[in-house]
Structure 1
């Protein structure tokens, strides 16, 4: 593969922790070779390469790392969104309508829908995405959803514990047995992670502990939906178990914040969900003061955050959650990588994957400064200009 130099970058955001919040370099350059970053430095010092791309003074950032999506589903819940915007309260129960639509969809339909969403995300700068199951809630469909997800990403998550399957609503103990037993055995070969929605209307702390322990015994990494609607104690459980990420974190106690700061568990915020459910936006002031690590993800799903746009989530995080633009961009790149326990994405450094985003803007701050404007003008994924999402080659 020919080496390519990207030169004349006005502002290069490397996310190098030794160079400030975003690792900003002026008049920077990057050399890509064999899908990886081979060199980073001043444009005037760029080594010779087989090809050169002139960034024209625009900004370049790492590709976004979206560490929380539910991108394999069928159906639409626009009516539910309309009702919420008219005053109805959000609950976890709407998931069941998506389950019915998803169970009835063909694998080809689900694959096509997922391809469309990921292509949409790619056009907005996302180059790494996690995908959960969770809209099957039976053994065969959960496995089928993971088979679809595995066509697109190595970051697959088994979420059989999304809610209790509707046909087992009065037999929740049996459903927990199913998730932690036969469903997990069918899903584990296709998943890297296991997740549980620990919340009012979904699973309690004891059920969550049991399911996550079974997933760990099956060799899966741990993730957790927690503290979205209530201060349930789930965040403390996530830190105790060493989950890679605790997602939502809308309601955190001071004890939760301190526990997160003392651990390597990432607090992943999904501001698109607050936008869509009219829940209060969490603030980051206490996490910042405590020294905790956080990420931003899209939570792409049809019910509570039907967006693939990480720039939109960045703008929300700045306006509604008290993040600085630099903190939000870092959370959507390096933060997401940490939430997936990856060091090969989310940053522009020698040896990392050549996932780069060229902005139609002179500074990354424009992602929040110009909300809703399509500022992504070019995306490199594994060193190649990309317009269609494909699964990475290891």
Structure 2
């Protein structure tokens, strides 16, 4: 049995149910799993010993919302937005056209490179979506390709109604033949419930189709204004509703109610809908930052994710998301780290596998070139990732 001991850890942030922070710690890895956690002075023997020289260690980031399957970029759109133009969903069509022009090999290489970039910055579990195909053959191609390259794959055929298409007819295609064609490859179904994209009735049809096939769902909602996204996500027991920039009291009540049987200190009970905040996107689109502080105060778990995409958040740097959450969303460091690890896993339904450093979980570890995790926000913008372990293997 292959064993590796990581020792002389200056500060170990476990993100377990008791939110332990262990000083002068060590972690034993056996094969792909965490086998022991404790003080370095009490550590068991191991075949390989790695001295981390006082560096901080936390769980690998779990990025629960990204759009990696695309070609081209939208730098001109970004420049125009910074000059005062407002964001609208229609720019997705630009990426759709660029993506269709790529061969399978070209697109695969681009996605693999983006996934590796995220891994090198500590993201050990990553979700991504289709949604830049918007026609049968392309959505199938993207689903088959994505399945091989990321940990969790989401079908987002309902990203935008293609130009010159009837919205209701296209919704029927997404909820019918398209979903049927990609179902074997995907883990979730998502819908962009927003003005300029899919209205409440159309979104409901997509979510109902997913429910009928026993595929869990997600919702892009409440990004550009108040709307029915949160309501639909809770109604359909979606794992998460993402963006959540504009919330009313009824949205807070619905999300909090979905967690009424959840015991956060033991992480047991009926799970509800996670509110996923995307701060890099909020900055790029100049939307108000999602109310992460208010959501947590209402007893609603929040996740932080990169929303890496070419139009509104061309970054997969979860360190940046965490720093922004602390500096501008009024989260504590511990809350931001949990949102980017355990709660991200909760939003993907993989919290029993990853998202915290606990015996029996996959050994996904993020080693910082810093003595304490606070440096993530204390030194914003710095490359603080020293090394990364994914399933017990050193990958950086």
Which interval holds the TM-score relative to the shorter structure? over 0.9
Query: Following the alignment from structure 1 to structure 2, what is the Cα–Cα distance between the partners of residues 167 and 181?
Result: 20
Map of 2:395 onto structure 1: 386
Map of 2:170 onto structure 1: 175
- Structure 1 residue 262: deviation in Å? 2.1
Query: Following the alignment from structure 1 to structure 2, what is the Cα–Cα distance between the partners of residues 56 and 260?
Result: 43
Query: Following the alignment from structure 1 to structure 2, what is the Cα–Cα distance between the partners of residues 154 and 328?
Result: 22
Are the equivalent residues in 2 in contact too, given 1:66–1:130 (CA < 8 A)?
yes
Query: Following the alignment from structure 2 to structure 1, what is the Cα–Cα distance between the partners of residues 345 and 37?
Result: 20
- 1:262 aligned to 2:270? no
Runs of 4+ in 1 over 3 A off after TM superposition: none
TM-score by length of 2: 0.95
- 1:133 aligned to 2:130? yes
- 1:202 aligned to 2:210? no
Query: Following the alignment from structure 1 to structure 2, what is the Cα–Cα distance between the partners of residues 154 and 336?
Result: 13
Query: Following the alignment from structure 1 to structure 2, what is the Cα–Cα distance between the partners of residues 111 and 13?
Result: 35
Map of 2:156 onto structure 1: 159
- Structure 1 residue 335: deviation in Å? 1.1
Query: Following the alignment from structure 1 to structure 2, what is the Cα–Cα distance between the partners of residues 123 and 328?
Result: 20
- Structure 1 residue 283: deviation in Å? 2.2
Among 369, 380, 386, which residue is 1:371 paired with? Answer: 380
Q: Matched residue pairs, number?
A: 382
- 1:241 aligned to 2:236? yes
- 1:37 aligned to 2:34? yes
Map of 2:262 onto structure 1: none
Structure 1: give runs of 5+ residues left out of the alignment.
388-394
TM-score by length of 1: 0.95
Correspondences of 1:141-156 after superposition (within 5 Å): 141-156=138-153
Q: Deviations over 1:283-306 (max 9, x none)?
A: 223212211100000000000100
Query: Following the alignment from structure 1 to structure 2, what is the Cα–Cα distance between the partners of residues 256 and 219?
Result: 25
Q: Deviations over 1:75-112 (max 9, x none)?
A: 11000000000100000000000011111111111111
Map of 1:283 onto structure 2: 291
Are the equivalent residues in 2 in contact too, given 1:9–1:59 (CA < 8 A)?
yes
Are the equivalent residues in 2 in contact too, given 1:154–1:192 (CA < 8 A)?
no
Are the equivalent residues in 2 in contact too, given 1:283–1:322 (CA < 8 A)?
no
Among 104, 107, 126, which residue is 2:104 paired with? Answer: 107
